């Protein structure tokens, strides 16, 4: 399906074409989770494993192939998977039509649900070089991910906003994110795909600004992956994070879970014969770690209060306590499944 979303004669957006693309193409793929219903009884916490955990990216972590990861997720007991949409896992560069069909069959054979693809965007990349159409390039990349998602049998792509660049007016950078998400959302709509914007990058990292951003983008297929990680590191209290969940309620279709501990850091100042504190480093630990900084009990209860109906994606996305051997990764991933069980029933 190739439906154009160019401006109409009056300068407005072709919302009819956008709706047709979302409705017609979506028949061929699994439906993205709807936003929260507002009814706690509707809440479902279905476990999903993020392939970033076994992508060998963090120091010492084991690298599994895509097929090895799928088998691993099934063996561990996960219902769904989120696949990294770049090398070394599922890059559009490496998956032609035959490879896509083969991967889709494999996911179905294993009885797994492909929850979505994890895209990696930064809409202010190259902002210091005005002559390069970086926003357009990012939007085209997202369009390719949406096509890949459709071919693999899912209709959700996780995306980011942008990192803030020094020396460039903030509102210019914010505007690039708005433009990029609008362009990317329209490209994704051609394939019936929803973009789930994660609160991860600098621009709109705070929930109030994220809500403003998504309201300004104002596309039915540009929603949110809302995590507890960023608000916690911003210094929000559990009560404030509960309030943030309420603010973001209209857009939350996905959440990603990871747990961390803070390791304090200091720089030695010889002239004072003393140490100067600097930014702590974060390390990954099991979700139930006694010193974990994120209060997931309050976060999951907040999600239940709004009738959250999406998946709960688990990732081990930093250097992990106990090392990155496959045995330790498996042990940590299993611990999350056990932890989540307490929230899967009211």
Cα(337)–Cα(344) distance, integer angstroms:
10
Q: pLDDT tens digit string along 10-38? A: 334 444 444 444 444 444 445 678 999 99
DSSP element (H, E) containing 81 = strand 80-84
Note whether residue 245 is domain-resident: yes
Do 326 and 62 meet the contact criterion of CB atoms below 8 Å apart? yes
Note whether residue 123 is domain-resident: yes
* Banded model confidence at residue 346, pLDDT cuts 50, 70, 90: low
On average, the pLDDT of the chain sits at 92
Query: What percent of the chain lies above the pLDDT cut of 70?
Result: 91
Model's pTM, two decimal places?
0.90
* Banded model confidence at residue 344, pLDDT cuts 50, 70, 90: confident
Q: Residue 281: pLDDT above 50?
A: yes
Q: Residue 292: pLDDT above 80?
A: yes
What's the rounded mean pLDDT across residues 290-296? 98
Cα(103)–Cα(85) distance, integer angstroms:
13
Note whether residue 10 is domain-resident: no
Give the contacts of 99 (CB within 8 A, at least 6 positions apart): none
Beta strand 156-159 with 113-118 is: parallel
Q: Residue 226: pLDDT above 90?
A: yes
Cα(212)–Cα(60) distance, integer angstroms:
39
Q: pLDDT tens digit string along 307-328? A: 999 999 999 999 999 999 999 9
Cα(284)–Cα(183) distance, integer angstroms:
35
Note whether residue 2 is domain-resident: no
Quick check: helix, strand or coil at residue 157?
strand
pLDDT score of 30? 57
| Domain housing 220 | 15-341
Note whether residue 9 is domain-resident: no
Q: Residue 7: pLDDT above 70?
A: no
Quick check: helix, strand or coil at residue 229?
helix
What's the rounded mean pLDDT across residues 164-187? 98
Note whether residue 3 is domain-resident: no
Both structure tokens of 329:
């990764």
Note whether residue 8 is domain-resident: no
Look up the CATH number of the domain holding residue 76. 3.20.20.150
Note whether residue 6 is domain-resident: no
Q: How many domains does the chain have?
A: 1
pLDDT score of 130? 85
pLDDT score of 31? 64
């Amino acid at each position: 399906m190739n439906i154009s979303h160019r401006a109409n004669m009056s300068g407005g957006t072709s919302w009819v074409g956008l709706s047709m693309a979302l409705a017609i193409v979506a028949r061929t793929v699994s439906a993205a989770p709807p936003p929260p219903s507002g009814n706690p009884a509707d809440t479902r916490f279905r476990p999903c494993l993020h392939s970033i955990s076994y992508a060998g990216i963090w120091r010492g972590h084991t690298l599994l192939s895509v097929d090895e990861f799928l088998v691993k997720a099934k063996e561990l007991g996960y219902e769904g998977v989120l696949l990294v949409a770049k090398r070394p896992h599922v890059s559009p560069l490496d998956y032609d039509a035959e490879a896509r069909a083969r991967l889709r069959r494999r996911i179905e054979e294993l009885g797994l649900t492909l929850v979505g693809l994890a895209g990696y965007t930064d809409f202010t990349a190259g902002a210091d070089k005005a002559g390069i159409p970086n926003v357009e390039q990012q939007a085209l990349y997202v369009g390719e991910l949406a096509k890949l998602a459709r071919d693999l049998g899912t209709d959700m792509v996780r995306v980011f906003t942008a990192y803030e660049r020094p020396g460039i007016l903030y509102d210019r950078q914010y505007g690039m994110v708005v433009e990029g998400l609008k362009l990317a959302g329209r490209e994704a709509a051609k394939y019936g795909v929803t973009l789930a914007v994660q609160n991860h990058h600098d621009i709109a990292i705070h929930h109030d600004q994220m809500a403003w951003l998504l309201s300004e983008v104002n596309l039915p297929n540009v929603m949110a992956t809302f995590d507890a990680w960023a608000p916690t590191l911003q210094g929000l209290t559990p009560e404030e994070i509960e309030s943030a969940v309420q603010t973001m309620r209209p857009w939350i279709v996905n959440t990603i879970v990871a747990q961390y501990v803070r390791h304090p850091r200091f720089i030695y100042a010889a002239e004072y014969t003393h140490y100067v504190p600097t930014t702590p480093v974060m390390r990954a630990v099991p979700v139930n770690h006694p010193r974990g900084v994120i209060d997931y009990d309050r976060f999951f209860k907040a999600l239940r209060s709004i009738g959250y109906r999406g998946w709960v994606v688990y990732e081990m996305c930093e250097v992990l306590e106990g090392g990155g051997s496959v045995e330790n990764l498996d042990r940590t991933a299993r611990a999350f499944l056990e932890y989540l069980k307490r929230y899967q029933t009211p």
